[in-house]
Amino acid sequence: MSILARSELVDPQLFDAARRLHLSARRVAPQGRFADQRSRDRGMGLEFEDHRPYTPGDDLRAVDWHLERRLGRLFVRLFEQQEDLPLYLLPDVSRSQFLEDPPRGRAGLRATVLLAAASLFQHDTVGVFPFAEDLSILARPASGRNRAVALASRLAALEAGGATDIPKAIARLSALRLRRGLVVLVSDLFDPQGIKAVTEALGRLRHRLLVVQLTRPVDADPGLAGDLRLVDCESGAMEDVSITPAVQERYRQAYGAFETHITDFCHERGIGRIRLDCDQDVVPQLARVFHPGGFEA
């Protein structure tokens, strides 16, 4: 059974918003294939030269997230020559993403469709690689504006996978030896192996990285109390526990350490990180990142 109704991903709202995000404008591919706009600025090569303030329509791949955290403003990196950076999207489709109501996997896949469509509408190359206990190839990297609806339909037709294994998925992606580009990991980052194993795997990527973290307010404080039987959403194992105030505090500390680890990892490596609230519409959340002043319909 498919994980989402087709209408949840083949959604005109997503495609309309994608046309406004301009993820990849103002650059030229090395093979001579042109994007929508040709830049007068330095391009998107691998040799860094300078920064300039972000303006709507700039390529998200060029945003210097490390500088944004220091100064509170968006800047883009300028490079010696223009180079096409393919977009590789890795949405988490593990079983745990589809247990809640609404499932956080819905927000993750809608974000995946929005980012894929935005890049395709700019004539860029996009590949989609869903993962759970392993990585699969839903769509090999290719360009074409008309691919957006087909990709959304194929994502909606997926079935939920098994347990989450982000390190294995990253290793499989690396083994594909894809041309250097931007990897967008769309996941809550909850992995049975722990967040340290996740960041160690991500740190070995030779691609640039953007983390789209799927969150909910209850992640930080589930509000549980009393004698409960908890079921592990990854393994299905059950455990009878007494949730006292002391246990609640230990949980909050553990979650705080989890968040701090992710924050430090992204900060130290200059990795982009977007936290999406899965209880809210992903369209304005993503649009606000790239459109100063808020989302305009």
Can you give the residue range of the structural domain that contains 177?
A: 6-218+273-290
Tell me if 228 is assigned to some domain.
no
Query: pTM of the entire structure?
Result: 0.80
pLDDT value, residue 35? 38
Tell me if 238 is assigned to some domain.
no
User: Is residue 91's pLDDT more than 70?
Assistant: yes
Tell me if 46 is assigned to some domain.
yes
173 or 236: which leads in pLDDT:
173
Residue pLDDT, tens place only, 7-55: 999 999 999 999 887 654 333 233 333 333 333 334 444 455 578 888 8
The total number of structural domains that make up the chain? 1
Tell me if 141 is assigned to some domain.
yes
Strand partners, 289: none
Whichever domain contains 197, its CATH number is: 3.40.50.410
Tell me if 227 is assigned to some domain.
no
User: Is residue 250's pLDDT more than 80?
Assistant: yes
Tell me if 181 is assigned to some domain.
yes
Tell me if 50 is assigned to some domain.
yes
Residue pLDDT, tens place only, 179-192: 989 999 999 999 99
Residue pLDDT, tens place only, 264-287: 999 999 898 999 999 999 999 998
